[in-house]
Amino acid sequence: DVKVTQSSRYLVKRTGEKVFLECVQDMDHENMFWYRQDPGLGLRLIYFSYDVKMKEKGDIPEGYSVSREKKERFSLILESASTNQTSMYLCASSSGGQVYEQYFGPGTRLTVT
């Protein structure tokens, strides 16, 4: 079974702090994604990566950056956390082939106070 893990289930940070969210997948997938999910807004793509050290902006990249130094690991960085970044953050991965089925991690509920 594909497994996508995220470093924390719950996280509370203060405004202005630098925040790191980590995601690891164990299926040698080429593609990895970071989404945020908010009530009424649905899932929104922040960044995705289709190869090591490669990244592309999603729909809402402002205030975020990412790092992918190894194939299995994709990190989301909030350079200076703000209260409007309080949200559920979801990581996903998929193979690069024809099937392209996305698998999600359990999510990180981030609260910025």
Partner 1 sequence: KQEVTQIPAALSVPEGENLVLNCSFTDSAIYNLQWFRQDPGKGLTSLLLIQSSQREQTSGRLNASLDKSSGRSTLYIAASQPGDSATYLCAVRPKGGGANSKLTFGKGITLSVRP
Regarding 16 and contact with partner 1 (CB under 8 A), the answer is no
Q: Taking the mean position of all CA atoms in its chain, how far away is CA 104?
A: 10
CB-based contact 2:94 (threshold 8 Å): no
When the beta carbons of 1 and 62 are compared against partner 1, the nearer one is: 1
Exactly one of 31, 75, 85, 93 binds partner 1 (CB under 8 A); that residue is 31
Rounded to 5°, the CA angle 76-49-111 comes to: 20
**Would you state the structure tokens that stand for residue 42, as one six-digit string?**
């649905």
Exactly one of 14, 100, 111, 113 binds partner 1 (CB under 8 A); that residue is 100
Exactly one of 90, 93, 110, 112 binds partner 1 (CB under 8 A); that residue is 90
Reference 58, options 91, 90, 34, 82; nearest CA is 34
When the beta carbons of 40 and 69 are compared against partner 1, the nearer one is: 40
> Ramachandran region of residue 34, left (φ > 0), alpha (ψ -120 to 50) or beta?
beta
When the beta carbons of 28 and 42 are compared against partner 1, the nearer one is: 42
Pairwise CA distance, residues 18 & 30, whole Å: 27
Regarding 95 and contact with partner 1 (CB under 8 A), the answer is yes
Regarding 8 and contact with partner 1 (CB under 8 A), the answer is no
Binding site for partner 1 (CB under 8 A): 4, 30-31, 33, 40, 42-43, 45, 48, 50, 56, 58, 88, 90, 92, 94-107, 109
